[in-house]
Amino acid sequence: MSSRTALAGYVVRRLGMAVAVLFTISLVSFFLLKLSGDLATSLARDSSGAYVEFLRRQYGLDQPIVVQYGQWLGRAMTGDLGTSFYFNEPVAALFAARLPVTMLLSLMAIVLALAISLPLGILAALNEDRLGDRLIQLFALSGQAMPVFWSSYLFIIFFALQLRVLPISGGASFAGLVMPALTLALFTMPALLRITRAGMSDALASDYVRTARAKGLRWSVIVTRHALRNALVPLIGIAAVQFGLLLGGSVVVETIFAIDGIGYFSWQAISQNDFPVVQATVLVVSAFYVLLTLAADLLSAWIDPQFKLGRPA
Amino acid sequence: MTAAAATRHRPLLAGLGERLFANASMRAGCTVILVVALLAVFAPWLAPYSPEAQDLTLRLMPPPLFGGDWLHADWSHPLGTDALGRDYLSRLLYGARLTLLIGIGATALSSVIGITLGMAAGYFGGRVEMLIGFIINVRLSMPIMLIMLSLVALLGNSTWLIMLVLSGFLWDRFAVVSRAVTMQLRDREFVLAAKASGCGDGRILFGEILPNLVRPILVVATLEVAHAILLESALSFLGLGVKAPGVSWGLMIAEAKDFVFFQSWLVTIPGAMIFLLVGAINLYCEGLKSGDGGVR
């Protein structure tokens, strides 16, 4: 099999999987809305039965469920995610206003996490099974064991109350995003650190690194040019996954630091029974995750030399 | 040699002690876990007060160790009291019970789901594997925090429901690992021999393959207990997990969040307990992985 057909086959299969997953997720979020009760009575609030009937017909709720799903999916694809019960405004607009903050927060978190875990992961691999490695692994372990809400409060107590260098809350300013991003970074760091360490340690033990050493290349060049490059391939996938998880997982941090992003927004919506909002968040966050992991997989397939040799993993 | 081959012809429980405490990380982790488990089990005998007994005249009493002159301090409440004057030590001891129960219960349930799916995918391959791979992919793409919060908000937050919802979302790693190990074992001699001697698929899966899954599954299980404890505490923190009069460490932090500035021990103590327990479980897991032939 030539490398091109192998790659093409992989791309087609991977795309098919992404579409199927997206379709299933849309079913899940549609039924989440259905599970939350009768849309017409929620919309009518205290009005009479006739009005409820009118709304039911107006919104097509008297149609069979398959038709309802089809209509809902059609609207969702054109960007119409329904109307929030609580705000009485289109969900898409409310959502779009809050997405950038969460995106920025997650991006800052992932960049911070990479800034911590890349050098530490490399350092750990270079000192494998020695004291430095042990300490770095202990650090990763502690990051993994910290409940996000607890580390948030520890940061608040330390940075805002003791040192008074950062504001306690608010996503309006860049400084207000530093602490929440740091909290999320601490939570994301262990996975990235482990994969960097494992990748580096495999690369350092490989034949091409031994050959490079035998040729007399400088150690720093070997580490940065040769070993790191190969260690980065699995890191792409994990970083993409972690970024996707952050978008849906910033609920706790956003509520603590009072950041008006999609996490806080959907938590509010859940407590107000505003399910069109919840459903839209589930749909958008999942879709984002699917696209992100798809892009990461295709990118790694493209980089991975195994594919160029026509031997898909 | 893989773990599977090494453990294959040994009785399941042979040298269990030696395998459970093989290295320093495992011993350290296990000690903390055992202490917490004992405290949880014996909470009714150890706790000096009822976890719900309120004494409004003694609200927000700081722990004696926080007060400075701890020799002459009042030690009637060793960890102080909360905003309703309830003894914090007693609440912490009782909180360990629900925290552990939900963590272990959810993991046990999700392991059943995950192992079944994983073994079926690895053993039968083909269409079955594709379908199960697809289910795993769907699960991974769902923002679990949001969906769990919605489900608990819609269906009510009883302890059993929380456990059930958690287990509905924590089975994926079990499935992935048991699928991988089953695939490796599918064409091995002992499986082929069993097949040749006329064993059915069920007999092979549960009699021949499942015993070899024990060790890798144990690694995943420790990870997932830690994961479940963190998720439960986050749910409780957001007000959609364990509800009063139940006590969990996450709920204790939720109740204390308004006091974080002036009575910070209310947040730091239960948080430190979660950190310690989850850290110990993860440490144990690391030890388990670094032992011979563990699954990474």
Q: Could you give the dihedral angle defined by the CA atoms of residues B6, B8, B11 and B12, in that order, rounded to the nearest 10 degrees?
A: 90
Alpha carbon distance A102, A93 (integer Å): 15
Contact between B150 and A282 using a beta-carbon 8 Å cutoff: yes
Query: Is B27 within 8 Å of B65 (Cβ atoms)?
Result: no
A306 confidence band (pLDDT: 50, 70, 90): low
Q: In the block, which residue shows the tokens 């790694």?
A: A300
Would you say residue A311 has pLDDT above 50? Answer: no
**Any residues with CB less than 8 A from the CB of B21 and at least 6 apart, and which?**
B27, B30
Alpha carbon distance B225, B222 (integer Å): 5
Give the tens place of pLDDT for each residue, A87-101. Answer: 888 888 888 888 888
Q: Could you give the dihedral angle defined by the CA atoms of residues A195, B145, A252 and A194, in that order, rounded to the nearest 10 degrees?
A: -10
Tokens of A122: 């490399």
Share of chain B above pLDDT 70, in %: 86
- For helices B159-167 and B144-155, the axis angle rounded to 10 degrees is 150
Alpha carbon distance A134, A146 (integer Å): 19
Instruction: Report residue B172: phi and psi, to 5°.
Output: -60, -45
Would you say residue B2 has pLDDT above 50? Answer: no
Q: What is the pLDDT of residue A249?
A: 79
Alpha carbon distance B45, A156 (integer Å): 36
Would you say residue A48 has pLDDT above 80? Answer: no
Q: Is A195 on the interface with B (CB under 8 A)?
A: no
Give the tens place of pLDDT for each residue, B42-97. Answer: 888 877 777 777 777 777 777 766 666 666 666 676 777 777 778 888 889 988 99
Would you say residue B106 has pLDDT above 90? Answer: yes
Q: In the block, which residue shows the tokens 């795993």?
A: B136
Would you say residue B153 has pLDDT above 50? Answer: yes
> What are the beta bridge partners of residue B81?
B87
> What are the beta bridge partners of residue A90?
A83
Amino acid identity, residue A148? V
Q: How far is CA A135 from CA A10, A120, A140, A146, A199, in A?
A: 40, 10, 9, 17, 19
Residues of A in contact with B141 (CB under 8 A): 21, 25, 286, 289-290, 293
Q: Around A172, how many Cα atoms within 13 Å sit in the side-chain half-sphere?
A: 4
Q: Around B127, how many Cα atoms within 13 Å sit in the side-chain half-sphere?
A: 0
- Residue from B33, B137, B146 whose CB has the most chain A CBs within 10 Å, to mutate: B146
Residues of B in contact with A154 (CB under 8 A): 268, 271
Q: Is A266 on the interface with B (CB under 8 A)?
A: yes
| Maximum average pLDDT range among A305-309, B39-43, B263-267 | B39-43
| Nearest Cα residue in chain A from B290 | A129
Q: What is the pLDDT of residue B86?
A: 82
Mean pLDDT is lowest, of A144-148, B194-198, B211-215, for B194-198
User: Model's pTM, two decimal places?
Assistant: 0.86
Alpha carbon distance B196, B41 (integer Å): 49
Nearest CB among A25, A137, A198 relative to B141 is that of A25
Contact between B134 and A20 using a beta-carbon 8 Å cutoff: yes
Tokens of B295: 């699954």
B1 confidence band (pLDDT: 50, 70, 90): very low
- Alpha-carbon gap: B143 to the closest alpha carbon of chain A (Å): 5
Would you say residue A63 has pLDDT above 80? Answer: no
Alpha carbon distance A279, A91 (integer Å): 10
Nearest CB among A245, A247, A270 relative to B150 is that of A270
Q: How far is CA B160 from CA B165, B242, B274, in A?
A: 9, 10, 21
> How is residue B48 annotated by DSSP?
S
Query: Is B157 within 8 Å of B98 (Cβ atoms)?
Result: no
Nearest CB among B143, B272, B296 relative to A248 is that of B143
Alpha carbon distance A312, A302 (integer Å): 11
Alpha carbon distance A107, B140 (integer Å): 20
Residues of B in contact with A139 (CB under 8 A): none
Closest CA to A185 of A155, A224, A230: A155
Query: Is A112 within 8 Å of A185 (Cβ atoms)?
Result: yes
- Alpha-carbon gap: B28 to the closest alpha carbon of chain A (Å): 13
Q: What is the pLDDT of residue A304?
A: 67
Give the tens place of pLDDT for each residue, B230-281. Answer: 999 888 888 888 877 788 888 888 888 877 777 778 888 888 899 999 999 9
A190-194 average pLDDT score:
91
Tokens of B149: 């919060």
Give one word for A92, left, alpha or beta, with left for phi > 0 and alpha for psi -120 to 50.
alpha
Would you say residue B118 has pLDDT above 90? Answer: yes
Q: What is the pLDDT of residue B6?
A: 46
Closest CA to A302 of A8, A99, A96: A8
Largest CA distance in chain A: 86
Amino acid identity, residue B161? L
Instruction: Report residue B135: phi and psi, to 5°.
Output: -60, -40
Would you say residue A115 has pLDDT above 70? Answer: yes
- Alpha-carbon gap: B282 to the closest alpha carbon of chain A (Å): 7
B123-145 average pLDDT score:
89
Tokens of B122: 């690895």
ipTM of the complex: 0.85
Tokens of A33: 């809305």
Rg, Å, chain B Cα set: 23
Residues of B in contact with A146 (CB under 8 A): 275
Query: Is A32 within 8 Å of A282 (Cβ atoms)?
Result: yes
Residues of B in contact with A142 (CB under 8 A): 275, 279
Contact between B233 and A147 using a beta-carbon 8 Å cutoff: yes
Residues of A in contact with B165 (CB under 8 A): none
Contact between B138 and A154 using a beta-carbon 8 Å cutoff: no
Query: Is B204 within 8 Å of B195 (Cβ atoms)?
Result: yes
Tokens of B296: 């990474």
Contact between A249 and B145 using a beta-carbon 8 Å cutoff: yes
Q: What is the pLDDT of residue A111?
A: 93
Q: Is A268 on the interface with B (CB under 8 A)?
A: no
**Any residues with CB less than 8 A from the CB of B71 and at least 6 apart, and which?**
none
Mean pLDDT is lowest, of A8-17, A88-97, A154-163, for A154-163
Q: Where are the alpha helices (DSSP H) in chain B?
A: 3-7, 16-20, 24-41, 43-46, 88-124, 126-141, 144-155, 159-167, 172-186, 189-196, 201-203, 210-237, 249-256, 265-290
> What are the beta bridge partners of residue B87?
B81
